[in-house]
Amino acid sequence: MPEGLIVKALSGYYYVKPADPALDEIIQCRGRGIFKKKGISPLVGDRVIYSPTENGEGMVDEILPRITELIRPPIANARLAVLLFSLKEPDLNLQLLDKFLVHIEHEGLQALICLTKEDLLDAENEDIASITEQAARLYEQIGYEVFITSSLTGKGTEAVKSRLAGEISVLSGQSGVGKSTLLNAMFPGLSLETSEISTKLGRGRHTTRHVELIELENGGYVADTPGFSQLDFLELGIEELSTCFREFRELSEGCKFRGCTHLHEPGCKVREAVDDGAIAAGRYEHYVQFYEEMKDKKRRY
Q: How many domains does the chain have?
A: 3
Q: Give the Cα separation of 180 and 197 in Å (integer).
A: 13
* 283 within some domain: yes
Same domain, yes or no, for 220 and 79?
A: yes
Question: Which residues of the chain register pLDDT less than 50?
Answer: 195-208, 227-230
What's the pLDDT at 212?
Answer: 85
The pLDDT of residue 195: 46
Q: Is 114 annotated among the ligand-binding residues?
A: no
Please tell me whether residue 207 adopts helix, strand or coil conformation: coil
- Asked whether residue 262 is marked as a ligand-binding residue, the answer is yes
109 shares its domain with 205: yes
- Residue 244 labelled as part of a binding site: no
Question: 188 and 103 in one domain?
Answer: yes
Q: Is 264 annotated as a binding residue?
A: no
255 is in an annotated binding site: yes
* 119 carries a ligand binding annotation: yes
- CATH number of residue 268's parent domain: 1.10.40.50
> Which stretches does DSSP call E strand in the chain?
3-10, 13-18, 27-31, 47-52, 58-63, 69-70, 75-76, 80-86, 110-116, 145-148, 168-173, 197-198, 203-204, 213-215, 221-224
- Please tell me whether residues 215 and 120 are part of one structural domain: yes
- Indicate whether 70 belongs to any domain: no
181 assigned to a ligand binding site = yes
pLDDT at 300: 66
**pLDDT in the model for residue 234:** 66
> Is 130 assigned to a binding site?
no
* Helical residues (DSSP H) of the chain, grouped into ranges: 33-37, 94-107, 126-142, 157-164, 179-186, 246-252, 269-276, 281-300
Known binder of ligand: residue 124?
Answer: no
Does residue 285 sit within a domain? yes
Q: Considering only CA atoms, give the Rg of the chain.
A: 21
Asked if residue 179 belongs to a known ligand binding site, the reply is yes
User: Which of 65, 89, 118 finishes a domain?
Assistant: 65
Give per-residue pLDDT as tens, 114-133: 988 877 776 556 666 677 88
What interhelical angle do 179-186 and 157-164 show, nearest 10?
90
Give the side-chain half-sphere CA count within 13 A for 121.
21
Q: Are strands 110-116 and 221-224 parallel, antiparallel or unpaired?
A: unpaired
**175 annotated ligand binder:** yes
Beta bridge partners of 203: 198
Task: Identify the sign of the CA torsion 129, 133, 136, 142.
Answer: negative
Q: Tell me: do 106 and 172 sit in the same domain.
A: yes
Q: Give the model's pLDDT for residue 284.
A: 98
Q: Is residue 113 part of a domain?
A: yes
Q: What is the pLDDT of residue 150?
A: 84
> What does the pLDDT read at residue 119?
77
pLDDT at 208 (0 to 100): 43
Establish whether 29 is an annotated binding residue.
no
State the pLDDT at residue 128. 63
Instruction: Give pLDDT, residue 118.
Output: 79
Q: Which residues contact 246 (CB under 8 A, 6 or more apart)?
A: 105, 142, 143, 144
Same domain for 79 and 59 = no
Instruction: Check which CATH number belongs to the domain holding 99 and give it.
Output: 3.40.50.300
Parent domain of 59: 3-65
Check the annotation: does 176 bind a ligand: yes
**Residue 260 annotated as binding site:** yes
208 marked ligand binding residue: no
Identify whether the C-beta of residue 67 lies closer than 8 Å to the C-beta of residue 73.
no
* Residue 195 is assigned to a ligand binding site: no
